[in-house]
C-alpha cells in the first residue's frame, strides 16, 4: 500500500522547489554567475529527484512493474492510469535531465535549463496535483 504521508511530503517538497525557482531564479544571470547556475540546476535536480522518488514508491508499492530506468517509472504510472500521456512525456524528460546533472553524461545546456524553468515548472505542479488527487480517490 502506498505510504500517503511519505508521498505527500515528497509532493510538497516538489512544490516548494518550484516556488523557489519561480521567485528566486534569475535566468538572465545563469550564463555568467556560477552560483545562480548551480542554484537553478540543482533546485531542478532536487525537484526531479523527488518526482522520481514518488513514482518509484508508487510503482513499487502497487507492484506496477520492474522499470529499467527512472524514465520508465513514469511509463508505468501512465499504464496504471496515474498520469496522462503528455505528463508522462514531460516527466520522462525531467528524469533524463536529472540523469545528465547527477551523472555528468554531458555538460548541462543552459538553454535547456532556461526552457525548463520558463515552460516546464507547471508540469511538476501538475504531477504533484495529479498524484495527490489519485491518492485522495483511493
Mean pLDDT of 22-36: 96
Q: How many residues does the chain have?
A: 138
Q: Which residue has the cell 520558463?
A: 118
Spatial separation of the C-alpha atoms in residues 5 and 109, rounded to whole Å: 35
Contact between residue 59 and residue 73 where contact means Cβ atoms under 8 Å apart: yes
Q: Which of 64, 58, 56 is nearest to 134 (CA)?
A: 58
Residue 82, CA atoms < 13 Å, CB-side half-sphere: 24
* pLDDT for res 133: 95
CATH dotted code for 4-136: 1.20.120.580
- Assess whether pLDDT exceeds 60 at residue 65: yes
Contact between residue 66 and residue 83 where contact means Cβ atoms under 8 Å apart: no
* pLDDT for res 35: 96
For the chain, the average pLDDT equals 94
Domain ranges within the chain, ordered by starting residue: 4-136
Amino acid at each position: 500500500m502506498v505510504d500517503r504521508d511519505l508521498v505527500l511530503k515528497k509532493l510538497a517538497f516538489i512544490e516548494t522547489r518550484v516556488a523557489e525557482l519561480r521567485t528566486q531564479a534569475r535566468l538572465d544571470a545563469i550564463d555568467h554567475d556560477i552560483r545562480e547556475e548551480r542554484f537553478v540546476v540543482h533546485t531542478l535536480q532536487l525537484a526531479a529527484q523527488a518526482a522520481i522518488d514518488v513514482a518509484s514508491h508508487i510503482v513499487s508499492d502497487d507492484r506496477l512493474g520492474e522499470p529499467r530506468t527512472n524514465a520508465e517509472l513514469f511509463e508505468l504510472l501512465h499504464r496504471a492510469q496515474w498520469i496522462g500521456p503528455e505528463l508522462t512525456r514531460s516527466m520522462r524528460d525531467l528524469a533524463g535531465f536529472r540523469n545528465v546533472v547527477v551523472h555528468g553524461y554531458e555538460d548541462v545546456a543552459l538553454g535547456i535549463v532556461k526552457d525548463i524553468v520558463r515552460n516546464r515548472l507547471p508540469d511538476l505542479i501538475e504531477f504533484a496535483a495529479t498524484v495527490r488527487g489519485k491518492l485522495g480517490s483511493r
